[in-house]
Amino acid sequence: MRIGGKRRLLGLLVLCPLATGCATVTRGPTETFTVRSKPPGATASSSSGWECVTPCTLQVNRRGDFIVLVRKEGYSEKTVKVQSIRTGKKGSLRKRVGADVGWIGSAADAVTGANYEHAPNPLVVTLEPDE
């Protein structure tokens, strides 16, 4: 990131707390993501690089789709696409300040990805026994 870009990001993060609905402050750039399988004890691995044994919970960046592969010996594996979707959570200082300054929080949220969340979350996968 260029120096000017770092300054812009720092400025947005400093101004963001002034916007009551700023997701960057209230939600952060990561979220808790949960994977469960039926039966439990399956290996879940993602295209973004993490791997765990179900049931598992981990922190992932809010922005960015990924693919989850769930597999267990004796069962057919399943692949599921998890999408990062923009949330409708908004806030504004318009009522307190009398001007539209919500763009400050929106800009910070766009940079950090805090206005996104993954779906489905939790991810619940039912594995079918091999024939």
Domain holding 111, by residue range, is: 3-126
CA trace torsion 123, 86, 28, 60 (10° rounding): 30
Is residue 26 scored above 50 in pLDDT? yes
Inside any domain, residue 90: yes
33 strand-pairing partners: 58
25/6 Cα distance (integer angstroms): 18
Domain assignment of residue 131, yes or no? no
Which strand (E) or helix (H) includes residue 14? helix 3-15
97 belongs to a structural domain = yes
Quick: pLDDT tens for 77-111: 999 999 999 886 554 444 444 444 454 455 555 66
Cα-trace Rg, the chain = 19
Give how many domains the chain has, as a whole number: 1
pLDDT in tens, 31-51: 999 999 999 999 999 999 999
